[in-house]
């Protein structure tokens, strides 16, 4: 096992370096072991420098957003880079540039304050912009990838702006250059609603009253249909083509099924909730049980939407 380059990392300006940090506090599931090295860059330059040091030392690591779509092994991860320190937002020249660590709730508050609609369908999703874009999060027939003009990708050799094509995003997935990290993104701001239909999507002016009403409608639907009062990682499985994962799980009699403190939600069958002290193995085994049962009864193999950290490769 290679040693960790503490001295080189602590010498990087704008990089917060911590040791032996519990990851359960950084996931909405409240599950996860400890990491020996927890890095929080406060600038793109610091992120580049940290990646360069880890690359040269051949240290495997993981990238952490807001931990809202994540199941982390209780055995822990050797090194983690948190993007929470990259959370600025700049409006300039018809574009909104947002760092990847910006949370969706904070971005929606900014949009509300500035009267710009377009992303309100993301209301209630607690993730970060980088994580949301990586999995092309969405709802109500919209996805974050539809709104992105450019993506700042960062690696050990530096950063560059990448313009996505139609092939870059799919249902709950992205196809980005391998080994690169989403560090910021640009979203177009249109002068009037009609422009948003020309080529893709942009944020458009909207009265604060109307936008607040739309956000509240989305939130009400989430509160009515999702178990937001218990720790979870959101939807566990992707919807198979033409079907909904939650209905397949419910039809197999698994709604409310429990494995230790991990339970298929009684409110939404595509959620697994932590009823108290659920651990990684309980959730992972429950995921396996659901997949096997659904495939046995329907012939459909469900695919995970949530990200599982069970090893130390770069994700």
Can you give the pLDDT at residue 190? 85
**Which among 122, 127, 99, 98 has a CA at the least distance from the CA of 188?**
98
pLDDT over 70 at 8, yes or no: yes
State pLDDT tens for residues 58-84: 999 999 999 999 999 999 999 999 999
Average pLDDT over residues 11-39: 97
The yes/no answer on whether domain 89-224 falls in CATH 2.10.10.90 is: no
Can you give the pLDDT at residue 94? 87
pLDDT over 50 at 254, yes or no: yes
Torsion over CA: 279, 280, 285, 291 (sign): positive
pLDDT over 80 at 311, yes or no: no
Average pLDDT over residues 156-172: 94
Average pLDDT over residues 92-98: 91
Q: Which two tokens stand for residue 276?
A: 């108290």
> Please, what is the Cα angle at 70 between 110 and 188, to 5 degrees?
30
Can you give the pLDDT at residue 197? 44
Domain ranges of the chain: 6-82, 89-224, 227-309
pLDDT over 50 at 280, yes or no: yes
Average pLDDT over residues 224-232: 95
Torsion over CA: 288, 292, 293, 295 (sign): positive
Q: How many CB atoms lie within 10 A of CB 300?
A: 14
DSSP 94: T
What CATH topology corresponds to 227-309?
3.90.78
Can you give the pLDDT at residue 313? 55
**Which among 131, 155, 45 has a CA at the least distance from the CA of 82?**
131
Average pLDDT over residues 30-36: 96
For the chain, percent of residues with pLDDT exceeding 70: 95
State pLDDT tens for residues 170-226: 999 999 998 899 999 999 998 665 544 445 578 999 999 999 999 999 999 999 999
Long-range contacts of 242-245 (CB under 8 A, 24+ apart): 243/300, 244/270, 245/269, 245/270, 245/302
> Please, what is the Cα angle at 62 between 61 and 67, to 5 degrees?
155
CATH number of 6-82: 3.30.43.10
Can you give the pLDDT at residue 138? 85
Can you give the pLDDT at residue 33? 96
For the chain, percent of residues with pLDDT exceeding 90: 87
Mean pLDDT over the full length of the chain: 93
Q: How many CB atoms lie within 10 A of CB 173?
A: 14
pLDDT over 70 at 42, yes or no: yes
> What is d(CA 160, CA 173) in angstroms, rounded to the nearest whole number?
21
> What is d(CA 30, CA 314) in angstroms, rounded to the nearest whole number?
22
Within 192-296, strands assigned E span 204-205, 232-235, 258-259, 262-264, 271-274
**Residue whose pair of structure tokens reads 């939807």 in the numeric block:** 235
């Amino acid at each position: 096992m290679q040693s960790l380059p503490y001295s080189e990392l602590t010498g990087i300006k704008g990089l917060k370096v911590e040791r032996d940090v519990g990851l359960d506090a950084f996931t909405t599931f409240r599950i996860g072991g400890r990491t020996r090295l927890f890095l929080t860059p406060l600038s793109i330059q610091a992120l580049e420098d940290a990646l360069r040091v880890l690359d040269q030392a051949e240290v495997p690591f993981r990238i952490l957003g807001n931990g809202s779509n994540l199941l982390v092994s209780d055995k822990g991860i050797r090194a983690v880079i948190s993007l929470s320190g990259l959370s600025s937002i700049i409006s300039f020249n018809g574009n909104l540039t947002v760092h990847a660590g910006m949370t969706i709730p904070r971005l929606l508050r900014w949009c509300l304050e500035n009267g710009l609609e377009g992303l309100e369908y993301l209301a209630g999703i607690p993730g970060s912009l980088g994580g949301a874009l990586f999995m092309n999060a969405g709802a109500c027939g919209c996805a974050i990838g539809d709104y992105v003009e450019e993506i700042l990708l960062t690696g050990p050799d530096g950063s560059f702006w990448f313009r996505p094509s139609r092939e870059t995003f799919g249902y709950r997935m992205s196809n980005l250059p391998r080994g690169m990290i989403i560090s910021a993104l640009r979203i177009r701001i249109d002068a009037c609603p009609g422009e948003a239909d020309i080529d893709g999507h942009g944020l458009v002016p909207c009265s604060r009253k109307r936008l607040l009403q739309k956000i509240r409608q989305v939130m009400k639907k989430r509160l009515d249909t999702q178990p937001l009062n218990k720790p979870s990682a959101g939807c566990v499985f992707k919807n198979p083509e033409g079907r909904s994962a939650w209905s397949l799980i419910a039809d197999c009699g698994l709604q409310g099924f429990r494995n230790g403190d991990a339970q298929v939600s009684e409110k939404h069958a595509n959620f697994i909730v932590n009823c108290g002290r659920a651990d990684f193995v309980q959730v992972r085994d429950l995921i396996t049980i659901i997949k096997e049962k659904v495939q046995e009864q329907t012939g459909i193999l469900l695919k995970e939407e949530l990200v599982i950290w069970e090893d130390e490769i770069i994700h």
